[in-house]
Structure 1
Amino acid sequence: MVNSAFSGSGFKATIAGLMSEVTQLYGADEIPWVIGYSGGKDSTAVLQLIWLALERIPQDKRAKPVYVISTDTLVENPIVSLWVAKSLETMGEAAKHKGLPITAHKLTPELENTFWVNMIGRGYPAPRPKFRWCTERLKINPSTKFIRSVVQDYGEAILVLGSRKAESAARTKVMERFEQERVRDRLSPNGSLPNSYVYTPIEDWSNDDVWLFLMQVGNPWGYNNKDLLTMYQGASEDGECPLVVDTSTPSCGDSRFGCWVCTLVEKDRSMQAMIQNDEEKEWMLPLLELRNELDPPKTLEADRPLRDFRRMNGAVQLFFDRPIPGPYKQEAREHWLRRVLEVQLHLRENGPEDVRDIELITLKELEEIRRIWVVDKHEIEDRLPLVYEEATGTSYPGGFFDEHLAMGAEEMELLRELCASDEIHFQLVRELLSVERQHKSMLRRAGLFKALEQSLLRNFYSDEEDAIGRARQRRDALEAAQGRLSERTVSSEQDLQ
């Protein structure tokens, strides 16, 4: 049986002690609080504790602001995303009505850091353990930026989290290490952000403790915790998530919600369970299918056919005599865009009323992807509007890119025909035309020759085999030069002896 934080003093006394601790910490200084809220059980339990404790403090002593922040990666599970969005809206209204110093903030990644801009725009491969490019861009950066702004305004900040030691052995180890470095009772230093501290009021709670608290204590901002329990139940593979009434009742606390596109986990078990446990959620099936399509097979070839043999900077790098695959090719990026738009259309046509306006990919993201394709990658065919119209059956709602286009659609098609099957030759001519066009309107065409040189270096190969052969020659020449240098060094040392 898992140890309960309530086994010593009992449920009521433990909760009362925690609320007393919260009120004391809140009134001990003028440092603002930032509460991390994901909409899940742990962050909900923490926010409830803080909220209920603040209600006990006299109005004139609630001067210190409490910011509730929730990071929307823009690729969250739609069910959870809707839940969190409505919760934040309800929370803000309730806090204002009760005169609490709580404000809710939904954070999103910067446009250049969103998932689709990086994957479909720049061609980053779907995230994997050795190339986990998404977490920092989508989750860490938005919250870090907000906390730093609070620190800048107030000098310090206290970050309140629902972290618990029972979550994993690794989490226990980290929390115990910071526990030893506490500068004040219950406040640990923030290892990544200076002038900020971390408060984890439910760090010793078990999963069962969390559910017991949520079921026994009503949600103070007007949400229904039993609906949260139902959501977890729907995301549990075996469908078992009983009403928790005591610590001996098993909970569904191992359910995990996150980005529906996540390829860092073997399977999206929560979404899969939602679809299996509720026929009304079958509208989410295309999301799961697309997520599985994004996840490359665990083989040596993996998604190599979809990716360029050159790295992002145009270099050809070898690993065990084979090129390290680079970004997704143009046709692969167009394919992923088409699939996302098709799934978005399906959800709007087949989903419940509250997802009829869902945006899996926003117009701002589409415009940034289009800019990257045309300006940065020199794909001056400007195919994004056409892909959009083919996938949705409607006109592209974005603007015009005529000033970036060196040639019209008919001319580009003729150029491709002239280059026949020589794709690299086509890319070279296209890029040279694009570079010249970009520099044409400049008063001083500084950088033109360097840009042209980079284009030639990136596309001068006859084909992929030619590029690999040249990379092998460079590697062999470098190894030979290093060998000769090593021999000279040994010879010099012997002469000195």
Structure 2
Amino acid sequence: MSEGIISSLFNEEKTVLEESKEEIKKIYLSDERPWVVGYSGGKDSTVVVQLVFEALKELPAEELTKKIYVISSDTLVETPLIIQSINQTLRKIQEKALELGLPIETHKVKPVVEQSFWLNIIGKGYPSPNQQFRWCTDRLKIDPANQFITDKVSSFGEVIMVLGVREDESATRANVIRSHTVEGKVLMRHSTLSNAYVYAPIKRFSLDDVWDYLLSNPSPWGDDNFELHRLYQDSSSGECPLVVDKTVKESAGSCGNSRFGCWVCTVVNEDKALSGFIQSGHDWMKPLLNFRNWLSSIRDDRSRRMKYRMNGQIYFKDIKVEDVDGVPHHLIAKKGSRPKQLIPLDQYTIVEKDKLKEYLEDNKIDLSVNGDHMILVSYFDEDTNDENLAQLGLGPFTMETRREILENLLRVQKQLQHPNDPNYKLIQEEELKAIRKVWYKKGDWDDHVPQIFNKVMGYDLEWEVDDRPLFKKDQVSDLELLCDEFKVDIKVVKKLLAIEKDFSGFKVRRGLMDEISKALKQDYLHL
């Protein structure tokens, strides 16, 4: 290749980067709105933070008048090595910014304990996320970041989000960026947060531009960009971006194959990220992968799921029937890693829909506990004039399964040997205490959380005394016998007593009757 061509390519590359840096300076100086820069630890967000850092260094000190907040999302279930790396980088960025007098602050945003992954899975019984029910992104990533942004909006009036999104990532991402862009304007309106704007300084960068910049420009805070490059070479996927917009969360894709996502991600069939770490020598992470695979495998196990929703709502799903050698079978289609199944209909008990409650009562079947009683309901569809078969829809994990998940998680935590953090925890103490409160309200008067913790870990936490059960075991047994005698659902009684405890002591008990009404109107009570 001739020197002229090499020189031309070098100048073109330099122009792309220099134009971006000059634009950053211009936007920074154009108004007083503070910036919130999203940092995920991946290549694109690293480029953005590094460009912003270098642009500010080139400005006169008297012009550095407004804050830049670099935020990173900690879902509390981040891949251990990555969150450790992010923590170190945030600390280095902060220290270097203070040394150079740059108006940069670093922050980690976390979900509130009531929205944490384990509170939802173990506490409330949410099924682990999948492609159709990705409840985790909003609760663990979007809401904490948006709360930080909202707090800054309330302080400053308006803010600018600076994100490492690129049109080159995918056609979907390019379309999303273009749909939010106003012609002739550099800033895009945030689609869900009022008074927030989005600036994407590297939106026109190619993948080569990203790596050329990182590998030819040392990190100003002392990180090793070549190590970051090696991380991507070992990985089979990209990064998990800081998502701050609910309208684009689907285009952001799953983080399950990414080194920069959650170690317990069940959205993907196979966690290539954890596998990649283990294959590259981090054997201590094998228990995490085993637990993640087990949690994914039990998601659609009917025997581990309640047969009504959290609010008590019963629903039915029509089944597909397929003949095999003249014998009708219930066809369960392949889903994710689950193979296709064919179950002969004669293995089921078929009950008329309007006689279901009577059947459940006669056979003392509790739809909220472990077990699949192999029941199908038949009903006449007036629209099609057909007799159809349906199955009870699935709700949360049963309490037995939630207890099993907690015990297995604690066992993994106890045996895990994090090479750099002997105090590393998979579940936080405040999450355990919050789960205990949720379980109590659901009728866990035996107070299983402290028992499970002591059984596995061999010691006790400082549990709240006020959260102790209302009744002793023999009193609970007497109450259960009375409920059985008078055909009253024990779970409802426990729910009503928990509601009364929550409202006791208040002079004005506003909302009490609404809560009691909800408890008494649950579908499964009125089949």
**Does 1:405 pair with 2:469?**
yes
CA RMSD of aligned residues (A): 2.8
* In structure 1, C-alpha distance between the alignment counterparts of 2:490 and 2:156, rounded to whole Å: 56
| CA 1:417–1:219: 2 relative to 1, 3 Å | farther
Amino acid at match of 1:333: R
Over residues 320-358 of structure 1, what are the superposed CA-to-partner deviations in whole Å (9 max), with x where a residue is unaligned?
2222211111111111111211111122xx220x22111
Q: Aligned runs of 1:2-13 on 2, under 5 Å?
A: 9-13=11-15
| CA 1:409–1:384: 2 relative to 1, 3 Å | farther
Over residues 307-332 of structure 1, what are the superposed CA-to-partner deviations in whole Å (9 max), with x where a residue is unaligned?
11121111212222222211111111
Which region of structure 1 is more displaced relative to structure 2, 224-233 or 31-40? 224-233
| CA 1:450–1:100: 2 relative to 1, 3 Å | closer
* In structure 2, C-alpha distance between the alignment counterparts of 1:113 and 1:423, rounded to whole Å: 36
Over residues 1-28 of structure 1, what are the superposed CA-to-partner deviations in whole Å (9 max), with x where a residue is unaligned?
xxxxx95942223222222221122112
| CA 1:214–1:410: 2 relative to 1, 3 Å | farther
The aligned residue for residue 3 of structure 1 is none
Q: 2:273 aligns with which of 245, 262, 270?
A: 270
Q: CA deviation at 1:447?
A: 6.8
The aligned residue for residue 418 of structure 2 is 351
Q: 1:94 aligns with which of 82, 93, 96?
A: 96
**Does 1:362 pair with 2:364?**
no
Q: Aligned runs of 1:109-128 on 2, under 5 Å?
A: 109-128=111-130
Amino acid at match of 1:356: P
On the 8 A contact 2:113/2:119 being kept in 1, the answer is: yes
2:310 is paired with a residue of what secondary structure?
coil
**Does 1:427 pair with 2:491?**
yes
The aligned residue for residue 292 of structure 1 is 293
| CA 1:209–1:315: 2 relative to 1, 3 Å | same
Over residues 209-265 of structure 1, what are the superposed CA-to-partner deviations in whole Å (9 max), with x where a residue is unaligned?
21221111000012221222233334348xxxxxxxxxxxxxxxx955211121112
Q: How many residues matched?
A: 429
Q: CA deviation at 1:454?
A: 5.0
| CA 1:443–1:47: 2 relative to 1, 3 Å | closer
The aligned residue for residue 257 of structure 1 is 260
On the 8 A contact 1:115/1:138 being kept in 2, the answer is: yes
Q: Aligned runs of 1:61-460 on 2, under 5 Å?
A: 61-179=63-181, 181-182=182-183, 184=185, 186-236=186-236, 256-278=259-281, 281-296=282-297, 302-320=300-318, 321-347=390-416, 350-352=417-419, 354-374=420-440, 376-401=441-466, 405-412=469-476, 425-431=489-495, 433-435=497-499, 454-455=518-519, 457-458=521-522
The aligned residue for residue 54 of structure 1 is 56
* In structure 1, C-alpha distance between the alignment counterparts of 2:523 and 2:492, rounded to whole Å: 5
2:194 is paired with a residue of what secondary structure?
coil
Which sections of structure 2, spanning at least 5 residues, go unmatched?
Answer: 1-7, 238-256, 319-389
Q: CA deviation at 1:36?
A: 0.5
Amino acid at match of 1:399: E
On the 8 A contact 1:235/1:271 being kept in 2, the answer is: no
Over residues 35-62 of structure 1, what are the superposed CA-to-partner deviations in whole Å (9 max), with x where a residue is unaligned?
1001111100111111001100011111
Over residues 133-170 of structure 1, what are the superposed CA-to-partner deviations in whole Å (9 max), with x where a residue is unaligned?
11111111111111122222222211111101121111
* In structure 2, C-alpha distance between the alignment counterparts of 1:197 and 1:453, rounded to whole Å: 43
| CA 1:308–1:102: 2 relative to 1, 3 Å | same
Over residues 249-307 of structure 1, what are the superposed CA-to-partner deviations in whole Å (9 max), with x where a residue is unaligned?
xxxxx9552111211122221111111121xx111111111111222479xxx232111
Q: CA deviation at 1:459?
A: 9.2
Which region of structure 1 is more displaced relative to structure 2, 12-21 or 36-45? 12-21
* In structure 1, C-alpha distance between the alignment counterparts of 2:63 and 2:224, rounded to whole Å: 29
Q: CA deviation at 1:396?
A: 3.1
TM-score by length of 1: 0.79
1:105 is paired with a residue of what secondary structure?
strand
On the 8 A contact 2:314/2:523 being kept in 1, the answer is: no
* In structure 1, C-alpha distance between the alignment counterparts of 2:40 and 2:448, rounded to whole Å: 37
On the 8 A contact 1:67/1:104 being kept in 2, the answer is: yes
On the 8 A contact 1:236/1:255 being kept in 2, the answer is: yes
| CA 1:386–1:459: 2 relative to 1, 3 Å | farther
* In structure 2, C-alpha distance between the alignment counterparts of 1:355 and 1:154, rounded to whole Å: 38
Over residues 393-422 of structure 1, what are the superposed CA-to-partner deviations in whole Å (9 max), with x where a residue is unaligned?
2223332245x52212454467679989x9
Of all paired residues, the percent bearing the same amino acid is 38
| CA 1:151–1:425: 2 relative to 1, 3 Å | closer
Q: CA deviation at 1:431?
A: 4.0
Amino acid at match of 2:264: V
TM-score by length of 2: 0.75
Q: CA deviation at 1:362?
A: 0.8
Q: CA deviation at 1:207?
A: 2.2
| CA 1:151–1:430: 2 relative to 1, 3 Å | closer
Q: 2:30 aligns with which of 25, 28, 31?
A: 28
* In structure 1, C-alpha distance between the alignment counterparts of 2:279 and 2:487, rounded to whole Å: 45
2:178 is paired with a residue of what secondary structure?
helix
* In structure 1, C-alpha distance between the alignment counterparts of 2:207 and 2:137, rounded to whole Å: 25
Which sections of structure 1, spanning at least 5 residues, go unmatched?
Answer: 1-5, 238-253, 462-466, 471-497
Amino acid at match of 1:389: N
